[in-house]
Structure 1
Amino acid sequence: MDLYGATAEDFAQVKVKNSRHGLQNPNARYRKESAIEDVLASPVVSDPLRQLDICATSDGAAALIVASKSFAEKHLGSLEGVPSVRAISTVTPQYPQHLPELPDIATDSTAVVAAPERVFKDQILDAAYAEAGIGPEDVSLAEVYDLSTALELDWYEHLGLCPKGEGEQLLRSGATTIGGRVPVNPSGGLACFGEAIPAQAIAQVCELTWQLKGQATGRQVEGAKVGVTANQGLFGHGSSVIVAR
Protein backbone atom coordinates (compact mmCIF):
# COMPACT_ATOMS: atom_id res chain seq x y z
CA MET A 1 0.00 0.00 0.00
CA ASP A 2 2.86 2.35 0.83
CA LEU A 3 4.78 1.47 -2.33
CA TYR A 4 2.09 1.41 -4.99
CA GLY A 5 -0.98 3.07 -3.54
CA ALA A 6 -3.30 0.12 -3.06
CA THR A 7 -6.28 0.96 -0.87
CA ALA A 8 -8.61 -0.94 1.42
CA GLU A 9 -11.26 -0.34 -1.24
CA ASP A 10 -9.09 -2.17 -3.78
CA PHE A 11 -8.86 -5.18 -1.49
CA ALA A 12 -12.61 -5.05 -0.92
CA GLN A 13 -13.25 -4.94 -4.67
CA VAL A 14 -11.49 -8.30 -5.07
CA LYS A 15 -13.97 -9.81 -2.60
CA VAL A 16 -16.87 -8.16 -4.41
CA LYS A 17 -15.69 -9.56 -7.75
CA ASN A 18 -15.16 -13.08 -6.49
CA SER A 19 -18.42 -13.20 -4.56
CA ARG A 20 -20.26 -12.15 -7.70
CA HIS A 21 -18.53 -14.88 -9.70
CA GLY A 22 -19.34 -17.48 -7.04
CA LEU A 23 -23.06 -16.76 -7.20
CA GLN A 24 -23.12 -18.65 -10.50
CA ASN A 25 -21.09 -21.63 -9.30
CA PRO A 26 -23.20 -24.52 -7.98
CA ASN A 27 -20.10 -26.01 -6.34
CA ALA A 28 -19.37 -22.91 -4.26
CA ARG A 29 -19.94 -23.18 -0.52
CA TYR A 30 -20.51 -19.46 0.07
CA ARG A 31 -22.91 -18.04 -2.50
CA LYS A 32 -23.62 -14.55 -1.21
CA GLU A 33 -22.68 -11.32 -2.95
CA SER A 34 -20.68 -8.85 -0.89
CA ALA A 35 -20.57 -5.09 -1.33
CA ILE A 36 -17.53 -2.92 -0.70
CA GLU A 37 -19.31 -1.49 2.33
CA ASP A 38 -19.77 -5.00 3.77
CA VAL A 39 -16.05 -5.72 3.53
CA LEU A 40 -14.99 -2.39 5.00
CA ALA A 41 -17.43 -2.81 7.88
CA SER A 42 -16.17 -6.28 8.82
CA PRO A 43 -13.78 -6.60 11.79
CA VAL A 44 -10.06 -6.00 11.34
CA VAL A 45 -8.11 -9.27 11.60
CA SER A 46 -4.61 -8.02 10.78
CA ASP A 47 -4.42 -4.46 9.55
CA PRO A 48 -5.19 -3.70 6.76
CA LEU A 49 -7.02 -7.01 6.18
CA ARG A 50 -10.54 -7.43 7.47
CA GLN A 51 -12.58 -10.56 8.06
CA LEU A 52 -14.19 -10.52 4.63
CA ASP A 53 -10.79 -9.99 2.99
CA ILE A 54 -9.72 -13.44 4.20
CA CYS A 55 -11.12 -16.77 3.05
CA ALA A 56 -12.70 -19.15 5.54
CA THR A 57 -11.33 -22.59 6.33
CA SER A 58 -13.35 -25.40 4.84
CA ASP A 59 -13.70 -29.10 4.16
CA GLY A 60 -13.89 -30.17 0.54
CA ALA A 61 -12.76 -32.56 -2.14
CA ALA A 62 -11.84 -32.47 -5.81
CA ALA A 63 -10.79 -35.15 -8.29
CA LEU A 64 -9.20 -35.47 -11.71
CA ILE A 65 -8.77 -38.39 -14.09
CA VAL A 66 -5.39 -38.20 -15.81
CA ALA A 67 -4.87 -40.28 -18.95
CA SER A 68 -2.29 -40.69 -21.69
CA LYS A 69 -2.96 -39.29 -25.14
CA SER A 70 -3.38 -42.79 -26.59
CA PHE A 71 -5.93 -43.75 -23.94
CA ALA A 72 -7.87 -40.53 -24.49
CA GLU A 73 -7.91 -41.05 -28.26
CA LYS A 74 -9.16 -44.61 -27.80
CA HIS A 75 -12.08 -43.52 -25.65
CA LEU A 76 -12.84 -40.06 -27.04
CA GLY A 77 -11.84 -40.38 -30.67
CA SER A 78 -10.65 -37.04 -31.98
CA LEU A 79 -8.96 -34.85 -29.39
CA GLU A 80 -9.48 -31.67 -31.37
CA GLY A 81 -10.62 -28.97 -28.96
CA VAL A 82 -10.24 -31.26 -25.93
CA PRO A 83 -8.38 -29.48 -23.08
CA SER A 84 -5.06 -30.97 -22.07
CA VAL A 85 -2.45 -30.25 -19.43
CA ARG A 86 0.42 -28.37 -21.07
CA ALA A 87 2.57 -27.69 -18.02
CA ILE A 88 2.95 -28.58 -14.35
CA SER A 89 5.30 -26.54 -12.20
CA THR A 90 6.26 -26.96 -8.56
CA VAL A 91 8.75 -24.66 -6.84
CA THR A 92 10.25 -24.39 -3.37
CA PRO A 93 11.78 -21.10 -2.18
CA GLN A 94 15.53 -20.99 -2.81
CA TYR A 95 18.01 -20.48 0.00
CA PRO A 96 18.20 -18.15 1.80
CA GLN A 97 14.51 -17.44 1.34
CA HIS A 98 13.27 -20.20 3.66
CA LEU A 99 10.68 -17.95 5.22
CA PRO A 100 9.47 -16.01 2.19
CA GLU A 101 8.63 -12.35 2.37
CA LEU A 102 9.61 -11.78 6.00
CA PRO A 103 12.27 -9.07 5.66
CA ASP A 104 14.14 -7.75 8.67
CA ILE A 105 13.15 -10.70 10.87
CA ALA A 106 16.04 -12.13 12.90
CA THR A 107 15.34 -15.67 11.65
CA ASP A 108 15.36 -14.55 8.00
CA SER A 109 18.62 -15.64 6.33
CA THR A 110 18.33 -12.80 3.82
CA ALA A 111 19.60 -10.52 6.58
CA VAL A 112 23.11 -11.79 5.81
CA VAL A 113 22.77 -13.56 2.43
CA ALA A 114 21.37 -11.91 -0.67
CA ALA A 115 17.88 -13.04 -1.66
CA PRO A 116 17.30 -14.71 -5.06
CA GLU A 117 16.78 -12.35 -8.00
CA ARG A 118 13.38 -13.92 -8.72
CA VAL A 119 11.07 -14.71 -5.79
CA PHE A 120 9.52 -18.16 -5.74
CA LYS A 121 6.12 -16.95 -6.99
CA ASP A 122 7.78 -15.64 -10.13
CA GLN A 123 9.72 -18.88 -10.50
CA ILE A 124 6.53 -20.96 -10.35
CA LEU A 125 5.08 -19.18 -13.35
CA ASP A 126 8.39 -18.85 -15.19
CA ALA A 127 8.71 -22.64 -15.18
CA ALA A 128 5.09 -23.25 -16.19
CA TYR A 129 5.14 -20.79 -19.08
CA ALA A 130 8.45 -22.20 -20.33
CA GLU A 131 7.18 -25.78 -20.30
CA ALA A 132 3.96 -24.83 -22.10
CA GLY A 133 5.79 -22.66 -24.61
CA ILE A 134 3.52 -19.68 -24.01
CA GLY A 135 3.57 -16.35 -22.20
CA PRO A 136 1.20 -14.34 -20.02
CA GLU A 137 -0.22 -12.67 -23.14
CA ASP A 138 -1.69 -16.05 -24.18
CA VAL A 139 -3.68 -16.59 -20.97
CA SER A 140 -7.49 -16.44 -21.20
CA LEU A 141 -8.24 -16.88 -17.50
CA ALA A 142 -6.60 -17.75 -14.20
CA GLU A 143 -7.51 -19.49 -10.97
CA VAL A 144 -5.30 -18.29 -8.12
CA TYR A 145 -4.86 -18.89 -4.41
CA ASP A 146 -6.83 -16.03 -2.85
CA LEU A 147 -6.16 -16.73 0.81
CA SER A 148 -6.70 -12.99 1.09
CA THR A 149 -7.83 -10.29 -1.29
CA ALA A 150 -4.38 -8.72 -1.13
CA LEU A 151 -2.78 -12.01 -2.15
CA GLU A 152 -4.92 -12.21 -5.29
CA LEU A 153 -3.66 -8.78 -6.35
CA ASP A 154 -0.12 -10.01 -5.75
CA TRP A 155 -0.69 -12.97 -8.07
CA TYR A 156 -1.68 -10.66 -10.95
CA GLU A 157 1.89 -9.42 -11.06
CA HIS A 158 3.55 -12.82 -10.60
CA LEU A 159 1.38 -14.24 -13.38
CA GLY A 160 2.69 -11.49 -15.63
CA LEU A 161 -0.78 -10.09 -16.27
CA CYS A 162 0.53 -6.61 -15.45
CA PRO A 163 3.82 -4.93 -14.48
CA LYS A 164 4.93 -4.89 -10.87
CA GLY A 165 2.92 -2.43 -8.82
CA GLU A 166 -0.01 -2.29 -11.27
CA GLY A 167 -2.21 -5.06 -9.90
CA GLU A 168 -4.66 -2.57 -8.45
CA GLN A 169 -4.90 -0.75 -11.78
CA LEU A 170 -5.64 -4.03 -13.54
CA LEU A 171 -8.42 -4.74 -11.06
CA ARG A 172 -9.88 -1.24 -11.33
CA SER A 173 -9.97 -1.53 -15.13
CA GLY A 174 -12.33 -4.50 -14.91
CA ALA A 175 -9.87 -6.76 -16.75
CA THR A 176 -10.02 -9.52 -14.11
CA THR A 177 -13.79 -9.88 -13.93
CA ILE A 178 -15.83 -12.11 -16.22
CA GLY A 179 -16.18 -10.21 -19.47
CA GLY A 180 -12.81 -8.55 -18.97
CA ARG A 181 -9.51 -9.22 -20.72
CA VAL A 182 -8.33 -11.99 -18.39
CA PRO A 183 -10.84 -13.06 -15.72
CA VAL A 184 -9.27 -14.24 -12.47
CA ASN A 185 -11.10 -16.70 -10.23
CA PRO A 186 -14.27 -17.03 -12.33
CA SER A 187 -15.13 -19.91 -10.00
CA GLY A 188 -15.37 -17.47 -7.10
CA GLY A 189 -12.04 -18.63 -5.70
CA LEU A 190 -11.43 -19.47 -2.06
CA ALA A 191 -13.57 -16.47 -1.18
CA CYS A 192 -16.52 -18.66 -2.17
CA PHE A 193 -15.14 -22.14 -1.49
CA GLY A 194 -13.11 -21.66 1.64
CA GLU A 195 -9.61 -23.10 1.99
CA ALA A 196 -9.68 -26.90 1.78
CA ILE A 197 -6.08 -28.07 1.52
CA PRO A 198 -5.11 -29.77 -0.79
CA ALA A 199 -8.41 -29.95 -2.66
CA GLN A 200 -8.17 -26.30 -3.69
CA ALA A 201 -5.31 -26.87 -6.16
CA ILE A 202 -7.15 -29.73 -7.88
CA ALA A 203 -10.38 -27.71 -7.89
CA GLN A 204 -8.57 -24.95 -9.79
CA VAL A 205 -7.73 -27.40 -12.58
CA CYS A 206 -11.33 -28.64 -12.60
CA GLU A 207 -12.54 -25.08 -13.15
CA LEU A 208 -10.10 -24.51 -16.01
CA THR A 209 -11.27 -27.72 -17.66
CA TRP A 210 -14.93 -26.77 -17.41
CA GLN A 211 -14.17 -23.31 -18.74
CA LEU A 212 -12.20 -24.61 -21.73
CA LYS A 213 -14.95 -27.12 -22.52
CA GLY A 214 -17.59 -24.39 -22.38
CA GLN A 215 -19.32 -26.06 -19.42
CA ALA A 216 -19.08 -23.25 -16.85
CA THR A 217 -22.71 -22.21 -17.18
CA GLY A 218 -23.43 -18.75 -15.79
CA ARG A 219 -19.77 -17.89 -15.30
CA GLN A 220 -18.37 -18.88 -18.69
CA VAL A 221 -15.31 -17.05 -20.00
CA GLU A 222 -16.19 -16.82 -23.67
CA GLY A 223 -13.60 -18.06 -26.13
CA ALA A 224 -11.29 -19.34 -23.40
CA LYS A 225 -8.33 -21.26 -24.83
CA VAL A 226 -5.63 -21.18 -22.15
CA GLY A 227 -5.98 -21.24 -18.38
CA VAL A 228 -3.37 -21.09 -15.64
CA THR A 229 -3.49 -21.88 -11.92
CA ALA A 230 -1.34 -20.55 -9.09
CA ASN A 231 -1.26 -22.12 -5.67
CA GLN A 232 0.85 -21.74 -2.55
CA GLY A 233 1.32 -23.85 0.56
CA LEU A 234 3.24 -23.92 3.81
CA PHE A 235 6.54 -22.01 3.76
CA GLY A 236 5.94 -20.91 0.20
CA HIS A 237 5.94 -24.22 -1.65
CA GLY A 238 3.99 -23.43 -4.80
CA SER A 239 2.55 -24.94 -7.94
CA SER A 240 1.05 -23.98 -11.26
CA VAL A 241 -0.82 -25.94 -13.94
CA ILE A 242 -1.51 -24.72 -17.46
CA VAL A 243 -4.44 -26.22 -19.35
CA ALA A 244 -5.10 -25.40 -23.01
CA ARG A 245 -7.20 -26.54 -25.94
Structure 2
Amino acid sequence: MGLLTDALNGLAGLPQPAVVAATGALVLAECTLGVGFLAPGESGLLIASTTATTVPRFVVLWVVVTLCAVAGDSIGYLIGRRYGDRMRETGVVRKLGQQHWDRAGDFLRRRGWWAVLVARFLPVVRTLMPASAGAANLPYRSFLPASVVGAAAWAALHIGIGAVAGASAKYVEKTLGRASTAVVVALVLAAVVAVLVKRRRAKKSAPTPDRTPELVP
Protein backbone atom coordinates (compact mmCIF):
# COMPACT_ATOMS: atom_id res chain seq x y z
CA MET A 1 0.00 0.00 0.00
CA GLY A 2 1.05 3.58 -0.57
CA LEU A 3 1.80 6.29 1.91
CA LEU A 4 -1.56 8.02 1.55
CA THR A 5 -3.49 4.76 1.82
CA ASP A 6 -1.55 3.84 4.96
CA ALA A 7 -2.33 7.24 6.48
CA LEU A 8 -6.06 6.98 5.72
CA ASN A 9 -6.21 3.43 7.01
CA GLY A 10 -4.40 4.53 10.16
CA LEU A 11 -6.93 7.32 10.71
CA ALA A 12 -9.82 4.92 10.09
CA GLY A 13 -8.25 2.52 12.58
CA LEU A 14 -8.43 5.02 15.44
CA PRO A 15 -11.18 4.44 18.03
CA GLN A 16 -14.31 5.76 16.34
CA PRO A 17 -15.77 7.31 19.52
CA ALA A 18 -12.59 9.37 19.94
CA VAL A 19 -12.65 10.54 16.31
CA VAL A 20 -16.33 11.49 16.55
CA ALA A 21 -15.88 13.25 19.89
CA ALA A 22 -12.87 15.26 18.69
CA THR A 23 -14.68 16.24 15.49
CA GLY A 24 -17.78 17.28 17.40
CA ALA A 25 -15.68 19.39 19.78
CA LEU A 26 -14.00 21.20 16.87
CA VAL A 27 -17.34 21.91 15.21
CA LEU A 28 -18.85 23.14 18.49
CA ALA A 29 -15.87 25.45 18.98
CA GLU A 30 -16.03 26.80 15.43
CA CYS A 31 -19.75 27.52 15.69
CA THR A 32 -19.39 29.32 19.03
CA LEU A 33 -18.85 33.07 18.78
CA GLY A 34 -15.26 34.11 19.22
CA VAL A 35 -13.75 30.65 18.79
CA GLY A 36 -14.71 30.05 15.17
CA PHE A 37 -11.90 32.32 13.96
CA LEU A 38 -9.35 29.96 15.51
CA ALA A 39 -10.87 26.47 15.57
CA PRO A 40 -10.38 24.54 12.29
CA GLY A 41 -13.77 22.89 12.60
CA GLU A 42 -14.50 22.64 8.88
CA SER A 43 -11.04 21.32 8.03
CA GLY A 44 -11.14 18.86 10.91
CA LEU A 45 -14.56 17.64 9.79
CA LEU A 46 -13.34 16.98 6.24
CA ILE A 47 -10.33 15.01 7.52
CA ALA A 48 -12.39 13.01 10.02
CA SER A 49 -14.97 12.28 7.34
CA THR A 50 -12.48 10.07 5.50
CA THR A 51 -13.19 7.53 8.27
CA ALA A 52 -16.90 7.39 7.35
CA THR A 53 -16.38 4.23 5.34
CA THR A 54 -19.67 2.59 6.32
CA VAL A 55 -23.27 3.79 6.59
CA PRO A 56 -23.37 3.47 10.42
CA ARG A 57 -20.15 5.51 10.74
CA PHE A 58 -21.54 8.14 8.40
CA VAL A 59 -24.81 8.40 10.33
CA VAL A 60 -23.15 8.58 13.77
CA LEU A 61 -20.71 11.29 12.66
CA TRP A 62 -23.52 13.21 10.93
CA VAL A 63 -25.77 13.16 14.01
CA VAL A 64 -22.99 14.22 16.41
CA VAL A 65 -21.71 16.99 14.14
CA THR A 66 -25.24 18.30 13.57
CA LEU A 67 -25.98 18.39 17.31
CA CYS A 68 -22.67 20.10 18.09
CA ALA A 69 -23.22 22.70 15.37
CA VAL A 70 -26.72 23.46 16.68
CA ALA A 71 -25.37 23.70 20.23
CA GLY A 72 -22.70 26.17 19.10
CA ASP A 73 -25.34 28.21 17.26
CA SER A 74 -27.55 28.27 20.36
CA ILE A 75 -24.69 29.51 22.53
CA GLY A 76 -24.03 32.31 20.05
CA TYR A 77 -27.75 33.14 19.94
CA LEU A 78 -27.94 33.41 23.73
CA ILE A 79 -24.86 35.64 23.82
CA GLY A 80 -26.38 37.94 21.20
CA ARG A 81 -29.70 37.98 23.05
CA ARG A 82 -27.90 38.93 26.26
CA TYR A 83 -25.76 41.78 24.89
CA GLY A 84 -27.81 43.00 21.91
CA ASP A 85 -26.38 45.65 19.60
CA ARG A 86 -23.44 46.17 21.96
CA MET A 87 -21.97 43.02 20.41
CA ARG A 88 -20.74 45.01 17.41
CA GLU A 89 -18.28 46.96 19.56
CA THR A 90 -16.87 43.97 21.43
CA GLY A 91 -13.31 42.84 20.92
CA VAL A 92 -14.47 39.51 19.53
CA VAL A 93 -16.51 41.05 16.72
CA ARG A 94 -13.73 43.52 15.96
CA LYS A 95 -11.35 40.59 15.64
CA LEU A 96 -13.67 38.75 13.27
CA GLY A 97 -14.48 41.94 11.39
CA GLN A 98 -17.32 44.38 12.00
CA GLN A 99 -18.12 44.32 8.29
CA HIS A 100 -19.09 40.65 8.68
CA TRP A 101 -21.34 41.53 11.61
CA ASP A 102 -23.04 44.22 9.50
CA ARG A 103 -23.39 41.78 6.63
CA ALA A 104 -24.99 39.19 8.90
CA GLY A 105 -27.41 41.77 10.32
CA ASP A 106 -28.39 43.05 6.89
CA PHE A 107 -28.91 39.53 5.60
CA LEU A 108 -31.02 38.73 8.65
CA ARG A 109 -33.22 41.81 8.21
CA ARG A 110 -33.87 40.94 4.57
CA ARG A 111 -34.36 37.19 4.90
CA GLY A 112 -35.29 36.47 8.51
CA TRP A 113 -34.90 32.84 9.60
CA TRP A 114 -33.93 31.89 6.05
CA ALA A 115 -30.69 33.86 6.57
CA VAL A 116 -29.80 31.62 9.52
CA LEU A 117 -30.07 28.55 7.30
CA VAL A 118 -28.12 29.98 4.35
CA ALA A 119 -25.42 31.57 6.54
CA ARG A 120 -24.37 28.09 7.62
CA PHE A 121 -22.53 27.82 4.29
CA LEU A 122 -20.87 31.27 4.46
CA PRO A 123 -17.44 31.54 6.16
CA VAL A 124 -17.18 33.96 9.11
CA VAL A 125 -20.84 35.00 8.69
CA ARG A 126 -21.64 31.48 9.89
CA THR A 127 -19.95 32.28 13.20
CA LEU A 128 -21.60 35.68 13.64
CA MET A 129 -25.14 34.94 12.41
CA PRO A 130 -26.42 33.22 15.59
CA ALA A 131 -25.34 36.14 17.80
CA SER A 132 -26.76 38.58 15.26
CA ALA A 133 -30.07 36.70 15.31
CA GLY A 134 -30.14 36.90 19.10
CA ALA A 135 -29.30 40.60 19.07
CA ALA A 136 -32.08 41.18 16.53
CA ASN A 137 -34.53 39.35 18.83
CA LEU A 138 -35.39 36.75 16.20
CA PRO A 139 -37.67 34.33 18.11
CA TYR A 140 -35.80 31.19 19.16
CA ARG A 141 -38.70 29.10 17.86
CA SER A 142 -37.85 30.46 14.40
CA PHE A 143 -34.08 30.36 14.89
CA LEU A 144 -33.80 26.76 16.11
CA PRO A 145 -35.48 24.96 13.15
CA ALA A 146 -33.40 26.98 10.69
CA SER A 147 -30.25 26.17 12.65
CA VAL A 148 -31.08 22.45 12.75
CA VAL A 149 -31.86 22.21 9.02
CA GLY A 150 -28.78 24.24 8.06
CA ALA A 151 -26.48 22.26 10.37
CA ALA A 152 -27.83 18.92 9.14
CA ALA A 153 -27.36 19.88 5.48
CA TRP A 154 -23.90 21.37 6.11
CA ALA A 155 -22.76 18.30 8.05
CA ALA A 156 -24.08 15.84 5.44
CA LEU A 157 -22.40 17.79 2.62
CA HIS A 158 -18.98 17.98 4.26
CA ILE A 159 -19.01 14.41 5.55
CA GLY A 160 -19.99 13.25 2.07
CA ILE A 161 -17.17 15.24 0.49
CA GLY A 162 -14.64 13.89 2.99
CA ALA A 163 -15.79 10.29 2.59
CA VAL A 164 -15.69 10.48 -1.21
CA ALA A 165 -12.31 12.22 -1.17
CA GLY A 166 -10.84 9.50 1.05
CA ALA A 167 -12.20 6.70 -1.11
CA SER A 168 -11.05 8.45 -4.29
CA ALA A 169 -7.52 8.97 -2.94
CA LYS A 170 -7.24 5.27 -2.16
CA TYR A 171 -8.53 4.35 -5.60
CA VAL A 172 -6.14 6.72 -7.37
CA GLU A 173 -3.16 5.47 -5.42
CA LYS A 174 -4.12 1.85 -6.00
CA THR A 175 -4.57 2.48 -9.72
CA LEU A 176 -1.50 4.58 -10.39
CA GLY A 177 0.78 2.98 -7.86
CA ARG A 178 3.33 4.46 -5.51
CA ALA A 179 4.48 6.99 -8.09
CA SER A 180 1.25 8.91 -7.50
CA THR A 181 1.99 9.35 -3.81
CA ALA A 182 4.43 12.21 -4.37
CA VAL A 183 1.91 14.02 -6.56
CA VAL A 184 -0.91 13.56 -4.06
CA VAL A 185 1.25 14.67 -1.14
CA ALA A 186 2.38 17.74 -3.09
CA LEU A 187 -1.23 18.67 -3.82
CA VAL A 188 -2.18 18.23 -0.16
CA LEU A 189 0.75 20.38 0.97
CA ALA A 190 -0.17 23.05 -1.58
CA ALA A 191 -3.75 23.07 -0.28
CA VAL A 192 -2.56 23.38 3.32
CA VAL A 193 -0.25 26.27 2.44
CA ALA A 194 -3.07 28.01 0.58
CA VAL A 195 -5.36 27.71 3.60
CA LEU A 196 -2.69 29.03 5.97
CA VAL A 197 -1.94 31.98 3.70
CA LYS A 198 -5.64 32.77 3.42
CA ARG A 199 -6.04 32.67 7.22
CA ARG A 200 -3.00 34.92 7.69
CA ARG A 201 -4.35 37.47 5.20
CA ALA A 202 -7.77 37.36 6.86
CA LYS A 203 -6.18 38.03 10.25
CA LYS A 204 -4.15 40.92 8.86
CA SER A 205 -7.18 42.48 7.19
CA ALA A 206 -9.31 42.18 10.32
CA PRO A 207 -9.28 45.31 12.55
CA THR A 208 -6.99 44.86 15.52
CA PRO A 209 -8.46 45.98 18.85
CA ASP A 210 -6.43 48.19 21.12
CA ARG A 211 -6.56 45.63 23.88
CA THR A 212 -7.08 41.91 24.32
CA PRO A 213 -10.45 40.86 22.79
CA GLU A 214 -13.21 40.60 25.35
CA LEU A 215 -16.78 39.45 25.08
CA VAL A 216 -18.22 42.46 26.84
CA PRO A 217 -17.25 45.96 25.72
Report which of the two structures shows the higher radius of gyration computed on alpha carbons.
2
Q: Which has the higher strand share?
A: 1
Do they superpose with TM above 0.5? Answer: no
TM range (shorter): under 0.3
TM-score by length of 1: 0.23
Report the TM-score, using the length of structure 2 for normalisation: 0.25
